[in-house]
Chain A
Amino acid sequence: MRRVGLLIVVVVGVAWAAPPRPPSEPAVTLAREALPALDTATPDAATGQPTSPARQPGPAPQDDRPPVIIASKPFAESYVLAEIFAQLLEAGGIAVDRRFGLGATEIAFGALRAGAIDIYPEYTGTALAAILGEEMQADAEAVYRHVAGTFRERWDARWLAPLGFENTYAIAVRRETAEELGLTTLSDLAREAGGLRAGFTPDFIGRSDGLPGLRAAYGFEAAEVLPLLQAVKYEALVESGVDVIDGYSTDGLIARYDLVVLEDDRGFFPPYEAAGLVNGDFWGRRPDAIAALSELSGLLDEERVREWNRRAESDGDPVAEIARDALAELGLVVADGGETGESDPAESAVARESGRNSAAAAGSAPTAESARSPVVGFASYMWQNRTDILGHARRHIVLVIISLAAAALLAIPAGLMLVRVAGGAEGVIRAIGLVQTIPSLALLAFMIPALGIGVVPAVFALFLYSLFPILRNTYTGVRDANPAAVDAARALGMTPAQLLRHVRLPLAAPVIMAGLRTAAVINVGTATIAAFIGAGGLGDPIVAGLALSDTRMILSGAIPAAALALLVDGALGLAEKRVAPGGVAVE
């Protein structure tokens, strides 16, 4: 018993840094108020922008209204547009909370409907096909009107005026493929498709305005269709892993890789407008922010956006810098001497945290960095971003520890109770095990209506995933503890309570600890997904890096996450040996 107590102390003791705790009550309102406080330690991965209000550029907010919560979806253009929204508001003295890289359309829109975010950039085509599930239409203006009306009516969600550029899917092939097969249009592609391998984003494969529509409109049947993430799609095409990919017409990478975009000769992909999608409550509550954001209406054009995307995806420029340049270029925010990167503390923070332009800011040649070995380059990137990475790691550990501790507090007593229940225990455990089969992103999406986004639903999801291993190990460990010893102890006069305390629990302790260990390692891995619902952690740089095709950024999250998993596994492995009572061997 004392050893079980020790193991709990060991687990809880890992909470070294004692960072701020999330709210104990999982109420949506509470979560929304508490989250910014938790965010102070965590700079936004993609923008390198510290989200602490104290370090916010621009004048301090004149009121105590909550900050405007701006989100983006996990791809470069969405990051850039959201950051432009954010900086525009900040320039007007409005406090902003960034929740970039939210999972996908379901999660971003779900969060908006639940009131967990106020605004994010969306596309009318996506809204029509993916959210409303309706037929495509050719007239972009008609689509905007229809979508705006339906969203307002159905969810009280408002579309701001279109930003002025259109974006649509673009089907691209390598230049030599186009020349070899004589491809210029999608009709040409459909003719040759039988000999080609396609790599499409899962989104595109599923959407009616994606692959299914393409099949119907052109009779396009590729030899093979591989689901590929945005981040690896271009590499796969250039390395000839696939022959055809889907992109966006504003993609910065199409030009970089010298790809050929095939003409949509049957007008299958109608052009769709980009605009800010706003929560209805926010619309009524913050006319100041709506007015500020409306300044962007009609100002953007495809050429500009493509250039920004190229800077984000190919040049690796920090999103914050791209957005600042964009606002200056549009004449909306005057650059306040930010060019030198010296006058504004926030500016230098951005430069430091981005890491990329620090060499340029210091006046040394950028080639010096590229000449170094990749390992040294990565090491220095990690060093330059150590504050961020430690912040992400700390948040990650907090997510894991809180969820694990809560799961242990529930699952260990529940496991002990199940041992006493003669029948039905297996059924209960199997039912809990079903949670394990729910894909983590889906589980997170399910919880948005009730719990919103951020730390609370992330902790709750991790808690659910932890229950099964702990419950199962507690149950089997106690049930199967040395049956001969248990029988003899009972036959010599131990009471059930004494049996549990002196025989079953001590003998089951290593098994229970092994369950905790399994749950902890699963949690460290799964917690990276939490970034998709704005909970932060080491998934943040992974999600942002995937969106921005930035390998170093991905690795700056993935390597510490892997190291953390190994560390947790090792530490709990030791704890497992420690809780094994004397006289009982643990392999």
Chain B
Amino acid sequence: MGRDSRAPSEREPSANLDDPAAHFDEPALDEPAPDEPALDEPALRAYEVVKRYGATIALDRVSLDVARGSCVALVGESGSGKTTLLRCFNAMVRPDAGFVDVGGRPVSSFDPVALRRAIGYVQQEGGLLPHWSVLRNVALVPWLRGEEDAEEQARAALDRVGLPPARFGDRWPRDLSGGQRQRVAIARALAGSPEIILLDEPFGALDAITRSELRRSFHNLRAGMGVTSLLVTHDLHEAVELADEIAVMKGGALMQVGRPEELLSTPADGYVEELLKRAGIG
């Protein structure tokens, strides 16, 4: 199937038929509902969110707002709950208590499949479908939405991340370098022109040079498109470079949220101070 170079929408004309979600009136985020909240409503909001896995508390009454168009970095050691919090926003994790809103509406009020198609997502390993061409991977979300121009959207997205579709579109993911694969993953997350993008250690598996290169191009992209971004990272330098605000997590709890300079000037406690110091920022 993957060898087929035609547009995904042409290949799967019946995609909508076997897709129950396609029959729903998808609550797309850019279509204002009648009770559309005020514009200063945060794009993402978590309030007193609790998540337990057995006896382990992954999220301990976490509250966080991400303003429209801004980029917030979730930092902390592994196991601190960053990824769990991130996945609450695209309904991949269902909280045990508290509220999670997207665009001013509770996540639980969305059809989860439709919500996920409206939010970009990048994970550390890229998660490209190995049996799909680069172009088909990037066209995934528009194709799932049944959009006619899925392939054009994918080409445009590839261009934006610096991978000319004519050269890279027909390749298999395994034929790309690690950095190129992450670029494709970012292109895939952006292809549906989402208002929100969630990134889980997107540059974590790359070497230092590729990483800073990719970081810079992501920064420009994000600024250009005005996408609201929530970024999980364990690298404070990355957080400082990319994020408007940094949220420090430890043991499932949110220790401090603030602009990088606020964190530096008034660290909330010893842990934040220590974290900054260890990163050589303090």
Residues of A within 8 A of B (CB): 2-3, 482, 484-485, 487-495, 497-498, 501-503, 506-507, 581-585
Q: How many residues of B contact A (CB 8 A)?
A: 37
- Could you tell me the distance between the alpha carbons of A582 and B128 in the complex, rounded to whole angstroms? 14
Would you call B116 and A582 a contact (CB within 8 A)? no
Would you call A583 and B144 a contact (CB within 8 A)? no
Would you call A492 and B130 a contact (CB within 8 A)? no
The stretch of B14-22, B53-61, B150-158 in contact with A is B14-22
Whether A582 touches B140, Cβ cut-off 8 Å, given contacts A484-B125, A485-B127, is no
Would you call B121 and A495 a contact (CB within 8 A)? no
A23 CB to closest chain B CB (Å) equals 37
Would you call A583 and B90 a contact (CB within 8 A)? no
- A sample of 18 inter-chain contacts (CB < 8 A) reads A2-B1, A484-B125, A487-B127, A488-B121, A489-B140, A491-B121, A492-B121, A492-B188, A492-B189, A493-B113, A493-B115, A493-B116, A493-B118, A493-B145, A506-B1, A581-B1, A582-B2, A582-B3
Would you call B130 and A494 a contact (CB within 8 A)? no
With an 8 A cutoff between CB atoms, is B132 at the interface?
Answer: yes
| Neighbouring B residues of A494 by C-beta, 8 Å | 113, 144
With an 8 A cutoff between CB atoms, is B163 at the interface?
Answer: no
| Neighbouring A residues of B52 by C-beta, 8 Å | none
Would you call B173 and A583 a contact (CB within 8 A)? yes
Would you call B113 and A495 a contact (CB within 8 A)? yes
**5 A-B pairs with the lowest CB-CB distances in the bound complex, closest first:** A488-B127, A493-B117, A581-B131, A583-B172, A484-B125
> Which of A484, A492, A495 is the most central at the interface, judged by chain B CB atoms within 10 Å of its CB?
A492
The residues in B between 166 and 196 inclusive whose CB is less than 8 angstroms from any CB of A are 172-174, 185, 188-189
Whether A493 touches B141, Cβ cut-off 8 Å, given contacts A482-B130, A484-B123, A581-B131, is yes
| Neighbouring B residues of A584 by C-beta, 8 Å | 130-131, 174
Nearest-CB residue, chain A, relative to B133: A583
A403 CB to closest chain B CB (Å) equals 31
Would you call B121 and A581 a contact (CB within 8 A)? no
Would you call B131 and A506 a contact (CB within 8 A)? yes
A53 CB to closest chain B CB (Å) equals 52
- Could you tell me the distance between the alpha carbons of A581 and B130 in the complex, rounded to whole angstroms? 9
Would you call B18 and A501 a contact (CB within 8 A)? yes
- Could you tell me the distance between the alpha carbons of A484 and B129 in the complex, rounded to whole angstroms? 9
Q: Which residue of the partner chain, among A487, A491, A493, A585, contacts B114 with CB atoms under 8 Å?
A: A493
| Neighbouring B residues of A3 by C-beta, 8 Å | 1
The residues in B between 1 and 58 inclusive whose CB is less than 8 angstroms from any CB of A are 1-3, 18-21
Would you call A488 and B123 a contact (CB within 8 A)? yes
- Could you tell me the distance between the alpha carbons of A583 and B115 in the complex, rounded to whole angstroms? 29
B110 CB to closest chain A CB (Å) equals 11
With an 8 A cutoff between CB atoms, is B126 at the interface?
Answer: yes
- Could you tell me the distance between the alpha carbons of A338 and B40 in the complex, rounded to whole angstroms? 108
Q: Which residue of the partner chain, among B19, B114, B115, B128, contacts A488 with CB atoms under 8 Å?
A: B128
| Neighbouring A residues of B132 by C-beta, 8 Å | 583
Would you call B126 and A583 a contact (CB within 8 A)? no
- Could you tell me the distance between the alpha carbons of A242 and B123 in the complex, rounded to whole angstroms? 69
Whether A489 touches B131, Cβ cut-off 8 Å, given contacts A498-B19, A583-B2, is no
- Could you tell me the distance between the alpha carbons of A495 and B144 in the complex, rounded to whole angstroms? 9
Nearest-CB residue, chain B, relative to A1: B1
- Could you tell me the distance between the alpha carbons of A495 and B174 in the complex, rounded to whole angstroms? 25
Interface string of B82-119 (1 = CB under 8 A from A): 00000100101000000000000000000001111110
Nearest-CB residue, chain B, relative to A494: B144
| Neighbouring B residues of A585 by C-beta, 8 Å | 174
| Neighbouring B residues of A491 by C-beta, 8 Å | 87, 90, 92, 116, 121, 123, 127
B141 CB to closest chain A CB (Å) equals 6
Would you call A497 and B18 a contact (CB within 8 A)? yes
- Could you tell me the distance between the alpha carbons of A495 and B113 in the complex, rounded to whole angstroms? 7
- Could you tell me the distance between the alpha carbons of A488 and B172 in the complex, rounded to whole angstroms? 17
Would you call B140 and A495 a contact (CB within 8 A)? no
Would you call B18 and A493 a contact (CB within 8 A)? no
B129 CB to closest chain A CB (Å) equals 5
| Neighbouring A residues of B140 by C-beta, 8 Å | 489, 492
| Neighbouring A residues of B117 by C-beta, 8 Å | 492-493
A484 CB to closest chain B CB (Å) equals 4
- Could you tell me the distance between the alpha carbons of A316 and B37 in the complex, rounded to whole angstroms? 97
Nearest-CB residue, chain B, relative to A491: B121
A69 CB to closest chain B CB (Å) equals 53
Q: Which residue of the partner chain, among B116, B130, B172, contacts A507 with CB atoms under 8 Å?
A: B130
- Could you tell me the distance between the alpha carbons of A497 and B15 in the complex, rounded to whole angstroms? 11
Whether A583 touches B130, Cβ cut-off 8 Å, given contacts A491-B92, A491-B116, is yes
| Neighbouring A residues of B116 by C-beta, 8 Å | 490-493
Sample of 10 more A-B contacts, CB < 8 Å, known A583-B133, A584-B174: A484-B123, A487-B127, A491-B90, A491-B92, A491-B116, A492-B141, A492-B144, A507-B131, A582-B1, A583-B130
| Neighbouring A residues of B130 by C-beta, 8 Å | 482, 485, 507, 581, 583-584
- Could you tell me the distance between the alpha carbons of A45 and B5 in the complex, rounded to whole angstroms? 56
- Could you tell me the distance between the alpha carbons of A489 and B174 in the complex, rounded to whole angstroms? 17
- Could you tell me the distance between the alpha carbons of A492 and B131 in the complex, rounded to whole angstroms? 17
Would you call B129 and A485 a contact (CB within 8 A)? yes
Interface string of B237-279 (1 = CB under 8 A from A): 0000000000000000000000000000000000000000000
| Neighbouring B residues of A482 by C-beta, 8 Å | 129-130
| Neighbouring B residues of A488 by C-beta, 8 Å | 121, 123, 126-129, 185
Would you call B129 and A489 a contact (CB within 8 A)? yes
Would you call A489 and B18 a contact (CB within 8 A)? no
B147 CB to closest chain A CB (Å) equals 12
B184 CB to closest chain A CB (Å) equals 11
Would you call A581 and B2 a contact (CB within 8 A)? yes
Whether A582 touches B131, Cβ cut-off 8 Å, given contacts A491-B90, A492-B117, A492-B121, is yes
| Neighbouring B residues of A498 by C-beta, 8 Å | 18-19, 144
B3 CB to closest chain A CB (Å) equals 5
Whether A495 touches B19, Cβ cut-off 8 Å, given contacts A2-B1, A3-B1, A489-B140, is yes
A481 CB to closest chain B CB (Å) equals 10
> Which of A488, A489, A491, A493 is the most central at the interface, judged by chain B CB atoms within 10 Å of its CB?
A493
| Neighbouring A residues of B185 by C-beta, 8 Å | 488
- Could you tell me the distance between the alpha carbons of A485 and B129 in the complex, rounded to whole angstroms? 5
Whether A484 touches B20, Cβ cut-off 8 Å, given contacts A493-B117, A583-B133, is no
Would you call B129 and A503 a contact (CB within 8 A)? yes
- Could you tell me the distance between the alpha carbons of A88 and B223 in the complex, rounded to whole angstroms? 99
> Which of A2, A484, A491, A506 is the most central at the interface, judged by chain B CB atoms within 10 Å of its CB?
A491
Nearest-CB residue, chain A, relative to B114: A493
| Neighbouring A residues of B21 by C-beta, 8 Å | 493, 495
B113 CB to closest chain A CB (Å) equals 5
A511 CB to closest chain B CB (Å) equals 13
Nearest-CB residue, chain B, relative to A3: B1
Would you call B172 and A582 a contact (CB within 8 A)? yes
| Neighbouring B residues of A503 by C-beta, 8 Å | 129
